[in-house]
Amino acid sequence: MEKGFDAIYTDNLPDGDETPDSVIRSVADDADRIVITKDSDFYDSHLLFKQPAKLLLITTGNLKNRQFLDLFRQNFGEIIQLFQLYSLVELNNNEIIAH
């Protein structure tokens, strides 16, 4: 609950990391959550079917966990603001892109 947000990690779902993408999309949409992923399948599904309804796509390539967390924390406020207007936000090493 850091920063006042509730999060669910895939491993905490009943099927853990074997949870189908369709279930992850449903869990997110039913609770008005944002899916945060590097998986382009969610990007395709968002564009084609608007599922998940809100998506943060991470396109940083391979970063160490600490580097990614630092990048995410540095941009957290802007990401939250962008989701007030956009349903798809992309975070890469150099910028945040709202779609």
What pLDDT, in 10s, does the model give residues 53-79?
Answer: 999 999 999 999 999 999 999 999 999
Sheet arrangement for strand 88-91: 35-37, 55-58, 88-91, 96-98
Question: What range does the domain containing 82 cover?
Answer: 2-98
Residue 36: alpha-carbon gap to chain centroid: 1
Distance CA 45, CA 8 (A): 20
90 DSSP β-pair partners? 57, 97
Q: How far apart are CA 17 and CA 20, in angstroms?
A: 8
**pTM of this structure:** 0.92
Number of domains comprising the chain = 1
Say how many CA atoms lie within 13 Å of 7 toward its Cβ.
Answer: 10
Confidence of residue 50 (pLDDT cuts 50, 70, 90): very high
